[in-house]
Amino acid sequence: MSTQQPPRPVPGTSRRTKGANKQGRELIKAIEAAGGEVRPSGCPGHFKVYLDDRYIGSLAGTPSDWRTFKNDIARLRRNGLNITSKGTFNGAV
């Protein structure tokens, strides 16, 4: 009988961004720097994004398609979040 060890946290992650890949964690940091708020969704690894207490979109922590990340960024930008098309913070709020 072998005992299974609990999963170890990945260095540089927190419970808030648990389930997100590196690209997703960087986007979450940019969203928060731009004044947005990221809250966990009901699904593990998914997040809801709010700007001024208004829901503006959602994120999959580990998107299944490379276009998903770009589509999420475009949706957030259309809804007023000050980030670049690459998903980085775009200067002053």
Prediction pTM value: 0.74
- What tens digit of pLDDT does each residue of 2-45 get? 576 665 555 554 555 565 688 888 999 999 999 999 999 888 88
What pLDDT was estimated at residue 58? 92
Burial of 42 (0-12, 13-18, 19+ CB in 10 A): exposed
Domain boundaries, the chain: 34-83
